[in-house]
Structure 1
Amino acid sequence: MAVKRILRNGLILLFVAVALLAMPYHSTVQTNAVDLNVTLPINCDSPSVELELKQTAAVQPESRYIEMDNIQQLPELPAGCEVTSLAIVLNYLDYSVSKTRLADNYLPCSDDFYMGSDGELYGPNQNDVFAGDPHSNQYGCYAPVIVRTANSYLEECGSEYTASDISGENPEELYRYVLDGIPVIVWATIQMQEIPSYIEWFDFKTGEKLRVPNRQHCLVLVGVEGEMLTFNDPYDPRGIVQYPKSLFEKRYNEVGKQAVVLTAS
Structure 2
Amino acid sequence: MKIWKYILGSIILLLSTFSLYTLFVQKKYGEITFAQIIDNKKFNATSFEAKKDRLPIIKIKDTVLLDAPTIKQFPELPRGCEVTSLAMLLQYKGINVGKMELAEKIPKDTTPLIKEGSNISWGHPNDGFIGDMYSYNNPGYGVYHLPIKKLAEEYMPGKVVDLTGSEFNELKTYLSLGSPVWVITNATYNSLPDSAFETWQTPRGDVNITYRLHSVLITGYDDKYVYFNDPLNGGKNKRVSTDNFIAAWEQLGRQAVTYY
The TM-score normalised by the length of structure 1 is 0.70
- 1:18-40 CA distance string (max 9 Å, x none): xxxxxxxxxxxxxxxxxxxxxxx
Residue 215 in structure 1 maps to residue 217 in structure 2: no
Q: Which runs of structure 2 are paired with 1:60-79 in the superposition (5 Å)?
A: 60-79=60-79
Q: Which runs of structure 2 are paired with 1:3-42 in the superposition (5 Å)?
A: none
Aligned residue in 2 for 1:252: 249
Letter of the 2:232 partner, please give it: Y
Q: What is the CA-CA distance between 1:96 and the residue it aligns to? A: 1.0
Q: What is the CA-CA distance between 1:63 and the residue it aligns to? A: 0.9
Unpaired runs of 5+ residues, structure 2, are: 1-20, 30-56
Aligned residue in 1 for 2:106: 107
For the aligned residues, what is the CA RMSD? 2.4
SS at 1:125 equivalent: coil
How many angstroms apart in 2 are the aligned matches of 1:190 and 1:248?
11
Change (3 A) 1:180 1:58: same
Aligned residue in 1 for 2:151: 149
Letter of the 1:148 partner, please give it: K
Aligned residue in 2 for 1:134: 133
Runs of 4 or more, structure 1, over 6 Å off, are 116-119
Change (3 A) 1:250 1:60: closer
Contact 1:110 1:133 in 2 (8 A): no
SS at 1:223 equivalent: strand
- 1:209-243 CA distance string (max 9 Å, x none): 22211211110111111111110111134343101
Aligned residue in 2 for 1:123: 122
Q: Which runs of structure 2 are paired with 1:216-255 in the superposition (5 Å)?
A: 216-255=213-252
The TM-score normalised by the length of structure 2 is 0.71
Aligned residue in 2 for 1:197: 196
How many angstroms apart in 2 are the aligned matches of 1:115 and 1:60?
47
Which structure's CA Rg is the greater one?
1
SS at 2:233 equivalent: coil
Letter of the 2:259 partner, please give it: L
Unpaired runs of 5+ residues, structure 1, are: 1-47
Q: Identity, % of aligned pairs?
A: 26
How many angstroms apart in 2 are the aligned matches of 1:86 and 1:117?
35
Contact 1:184 1:259 in 2 (8 A): yes
